Amino acid sequence: MIVNNELYGLGFTKPISLCIAVSIAAIPAVSNAKEMKASTSIAASTNQLNALIESALSQDSSRAQYTAQSLAMTESGAASATLMDPKLKVGFGGLPVDSFKFDEDPMTNISVGLMQQFERGSTLELNQRKASQQASGLSLQVSLREREVASQMTQLWLELGYLQYAESIIVENQRLMTEMEQFVTTNYSIGKSEAQDLLNTQLQVNKLEEKLQLNHQMQSRIVSQFSEWLGSNWLGSNRSLSASYSLSWPTLNTILSSHAGTAQYYNQLNQHPMAQMADSNISVNQIQVEVAEQAYTPQFGVEVMYAYRQANNMKGEPASDLVSAYLTMDIPLFTGNRQDKNLAAAQHQVGAAKYQKDTLLAQMNAQVNALMNDRINLQERIERYQERLLPQATARTQAVERGYQNSTAQFGDVITASSDELALQLEVARLTTDLNITNSKLAALLGGFEYTSPESPLTHSK
């Protein structure tokens, strides 16, 4: 809250003004008490948030979608590793056109045959491995979705906690300014204050009401955003949440401690779902190279036919039935424009997939280093506030209060000093919120969240 210099020298009587000064001086103590209470409930707030995240993940439809897609790819792989269905061949041959009788010419026969085509080399096995690897890549989408949901919900939780703390500061300022309005009104009625003093005080009260309304609006918006993951039923029964702008990060702190003094986080980033998906993509393309190499091996087919004859042979005896068997084989002799090109294309895809992963890791490592820079600076700024600015603001407030009691300072000076101290406390809360949001982003990259991942969701029954 900003208090104009026009509030200086409002002409309050000493006893009444002293009461207000004591009230103002008590606000930092109240704020400090609330801050201490918030710090002691960090673990409880973290557990509450983790419970919400786990509840959201257990009913997240996107996780169910990725799981279903992974199962579908697994089933497709099993289908692709199966030989083609055999072909049944039924017909007749050698039928005389002058009589169309089956027992007149010994060459006439009714035949039944089966044809079976075999894939080249190990193509079937490779296709199954490829589909299985693709299914593994899709299943990693579940882990990626979990980190995205956890990061988004954590950041909203921290913003909600900050807004709730800011609300308490606004309420305290509103209470103070309401009392000031009453005192200014009393002094104005006895001619000790000007009309502009009363109008300025009323304006400050109305501004605080507007800030409080905006704060409530932003809190309601954040709570409504939680319904994206927790559902509309949850929203109807959980309009009020007690959040915190600070959380505990034991797992993240352990990870960062193990990488102290280095700017390379590649070992940890390789465990990120996106990096693992890139590895899966490389494996898929490597298998595709092996599939392309199978095109240099011949493809075989087998055909067996049985021919039934009704006519007699030239000796007048029943003609013997016939059995035929064939082996077909295509030989890849001219490979320059087909097999060679397909193999070269598959090899280039492997190289492209590896470069893609290298680019991804470089981008993610740069993000981690940028976040680490923000984290260090935020910690230093918070330390400066706690060790220098806040103690100085408190000492200033106390000095102004003593000066006012000794008639060497104006009542407006007391208001300004107390308001500045409250503003600094709110700035510390903002920095703490930003620090925890930075931790949330780092946790999403390095795997530092504390929630327990629920079991993979089952697909809907058919």
Question: Rounded to whole angstroms, how far apart are CA atoms 95 and 103?
Answer: 9
Q: Which amino acid is at 164?
A: Q
Written as tens digits, the pLDDT of the chain (462 aa) is: 333 333 333 333 333 344 444 444 444 444 454 454 545 578 888 999 999 999 999 988 888 888 888 888 888 888 888 888 889 999 988 888 888 888 888 888 899 999 998 888 888 889 888 888 989 888 899 999 999 999 999 999 999 999 999 999 888 888 877 877 787 788 778 877 677 777 877 888 888 899 999 999 999 999 999 999 998 888 877 667 888 999 999 999 999 999 888 889 999 999 999 999 999 999 999 999 999 998 888 889 999 999 998 888 777 788 888 899 999 988 887 777 888 899 999 999 999 999 999 999 999 999 999 999 999 999 999 999 999 999 999 998 889 888 878 878 766 677 778 778 888 999 999 999 999 999 999 999 999 998 888 876 554 443
Name the residue among 294, 292, 323, 295 with its Cα closest to residue 308: 323
390 CB contacts (<8 Å, ≥6 apart)? Answer: 421, 424, 425, 428
DSSP class per residue in 351-411: HHHHHHHHHHHHHHHHHHHHHHHHHHHHHHHHHHIIIIIHHHHHHHHHHHHHHHHTTSS-H
- C-alpha neighbours within 13 Å on the C-beta side of residue 170: 19
- Whole-number pLDDT of residue 217: 94
- Whole-number pLDDT of residue 17: 42
Q: Residue 323: in which H helix or E strand, if any?
A: strand 322-330
Return the structure tokens found at 303. Answer: 């055909």
Question: Rounded to whole angstroms, how far apart are CA atoms 319 and 264?
Answer: 84
Is 117:84 a contact under the CB 8 Å cutoff?
yes
Question: Rounded to whole angstroms, how far apart are CA atoms 138 and 325?
Answer: 45
Name the residue among 382, 145, 392 with its Cα closest to residue 274: 145
Q: Supply the pTM of this predicted model.
A: 0.80
408-427, pLDDT tens digit by residue?
876 667 777 877 888 899 99
Name the residue among 335, 331, 329, 352 with its Cα closest to residue 292: 335
Question: Rounded to whole angstroms, how far apart are CA atoms 239 and 229?
Answer: 15
117-169, pLDDT tens digit by residue?
888 888 888 988 888 898 988 889 999 999 999 999 999 999 999 999 999 98
Is 173:422 a contact under the CB 8 Å cutoff?
yes
- Whole-number pLDDT of residue 411: 65
DSSP class per residue in 332-358: ----TTTHHHHHHHHHHHHHHHHHHHH
Return the structure tokens found at 288. Answer: 């595709």
Name the residue among 18, 109, 146, 123 with its Cα closest to residue 77: 123
398 CB contacts (<8 Å, ≥6 apart)? Answer: 25
Please report, for residues 53, 158, 177, 240, 349, the alpha-carbon distance to residue 453 in angstroms, rounded to integers and kept in the order given: 9, 21, 49, 26, 34
Return the structure tokens found at 15. Answer: 């006893």
Return the structure tokens found at 435. Answer: 């620090």
183-196, pLDDT tens digit by residue?
778 877 887 767 77
How many residues appear in the chain? 462
- Helices and strands: H and E segment counts in the chain: 12, 4
Return the structure tokens found at 42. Answer: 């960090």
Domains in the chain and their CATH numbers? Answer: 5-83+120-297+337-446 (1.20.1600.10), 87-117+300-331 (no CATH)
- Whole-number pLDDT of residue 441: 96
